[in-house]
Structure 1
Amino acid sequence: MDEWVFWLWEEYSDQIEITTRLLGAALAGMVIGINRDIHNKPIGMRTLALVSLGSAIVILSGSVYEGLHFGQDAVSRVVQGILTGLGFLGAGSILRAKDGTEVQGLTTASTVWIAAALGVTAGLGAWFITVAGTLVTLFLLTYGTRLEKRLIRIFSDNKDPQGADLED
C-alpha cells in the first residue's frame, strides 16, 4: 500500500500541490465570507470563495507549464491585473444613500479585495500569509467595530465623529 501511495505522490505531485493551493484559496475566501453571511451582507461565502479561488487560478495558470517556480515579473503583472479587476467588483457593492449623506458597502468591497489577495497568496503557496491574513481579516470583521467605538470614546470624549453618544 505504501508503494502505491508513494508512486501516486511521485507521479502527480504537481497536480496535488496545485489542488491543495486552490482548495486553500477557496477555504480562505469561504471563512471570510461566512462572517459576511452572518452579518447579512450582500457578498457572502460563495462569492468570496469564488473571488479567492479565481485569483489562485490566475496565479497558477501562469506557472503550471513551467512547474511551480514563478518568475517575479510575471507574478507581479498577474497580481496587478487581479487587484485592478477586483476593484470594479468591489466598487459595485458600494452604495450611496439617496440624500448623499451616507456611503455603505465599503467593508464588503474590502472583503472582496482581501479575498482576492488571499487567493493570490494561496496560489503562490504562501501558506503562512494565507492563514495569518485570514485570521487578521476575521478579527477585524468580528471585533473591528467594537474596537473602533472604544477608541473613539477614548480619543473624543465619548462621542462618535458625528457627535452622537456611543453605546455598547
Structure 2
Amino acid sequence: METEIPILDMLTRLLVATGLALCLGLERELRGKPAGLRSHMLVSLGSSAFIIVGLSVLFGSDEGGRAASIDPNRVVEGVVGGIGFLGAGSIIRSGAHIQGITTGASIWLAGAIGVAAGTNNFPLAGMVTIIGLIIMVVLGRFEQEILESHAEKKVRRDESKKKPED
C-alpha cells in the first residue's frame, strides 16, 4: 500500500513509542507487578501501529475516494477501548482489597504514548512519559512512606490500648 508516511518515519514512530513505554514498564517490572516491561512496550507499539495504519489509510487514498472519509478519531477510540480492556484485566479485587489499579492506569498511559508517537507528536509522548514516571516513582515512594507512617502510628495506638498483664 502506498502511503505518505515514509518507512523510516514509521520505524521512528514505532521505536519512540516502544522506547518511552519501556520506561513505564521498567518501573512496574522493578516493583514486581504482573504487567511489566514487555507488556507496556507491546501496548505502546500496538497503539502506535494502529494509529499509523489509520493515518496511512486516510492519507494514502485517492482524493475523494472512499478511504478519505475514514475518521482517524475512530481508530483512537478503538485503541483506547482495547487498552482499557487490558488495563481492567490487571485489576484484582479480593474482598475489600483492590490491587493493580496503578498497573492498569500505566497500561492505559502506555497506549496514550503509542498514540502520540504514532501521530508523530514526540514532544507529547515524551512529556507524558516523564510526567507518568514522576507520578509512578516519586509519588509512589511518597505514598509508601505515608502508608508506613500510618501503619506505625496504628501499631503504637493499638499497643497503648492494651491493658498491662498482671
Q: TM-score, normalised by structure 2?
A: 0.76
Looking at structure 2, the residues matched to 44 and 159 of structure 1 have their Cα atoms a distance apart, in angstroms, of 28
Q: 1:13 to 1:61 in 2, by over 3 A?
A: closer
Give the CA deviation at 1:111.
0.8
Looking at structure 1, the residues matched to 69 and 36 of structure 2 have their Cα atoms a distance apart, in angstroms, of 32
Match of 1:79 in 2: 76
Match of 1:121 in 2: 116
- How do 1:2-151 residues align onto structure 2 when only pairs under 5 Å count? 14-65=6-57, 66=59, 74-97=71-94, 100-148=95-143
> Which range moved further: 131-140 or 74-83?
74-83
| 2:121 alignment partner AA | A
Q: Structure 1: give runs of 5+ residues left out of the alignment.
A: 1-11, 153-157
Q: Which secondary structure does the structure 2 equivalent of 1:42 belong to?
A: coil
Q: TM-score, normalised by structure 1?
A: 0.75
Q: Which secondary structure does the structure 2 equivalent of 1:43 belong to?
A: coil
CA deviation map 1:34-65 (0-9, x unaligned): 11111100011111000000000000001225
Give the CA deviation at 1:88.
1.0
Identical amino acids, percent of aligned pairs = 35
Give the CA deviation at 1:147.
3.6
Q: Which secondary structure does the structure 2 equivalent of 1:64 belong to?
A: helix
Q: 1:148 to 1:14 in 2, by over 3 A?
A: same
- Provide the aligned length of Structure 1 versus Structure 2: 142
Give the CA deviation at 1:145.
2.6
Q: Which secondary structure does the structure 2 equivalent of 1:103 belong to?
A: strand
Looking at structure 1, the residues matched to 141 and 5 of structure 2 have their Cα atoms a distance apart, in angstroms, of 45
CA deviation map 1:109-151 (0-9, x unaligned): 0011000000000000111111111011111110113444678
| 2:82 alignment partner AA | G
Looking at structure 1, the residues matched to 39 and 134 of structure 2 have their Cα atoms a distance apart, in angstroms, of 20
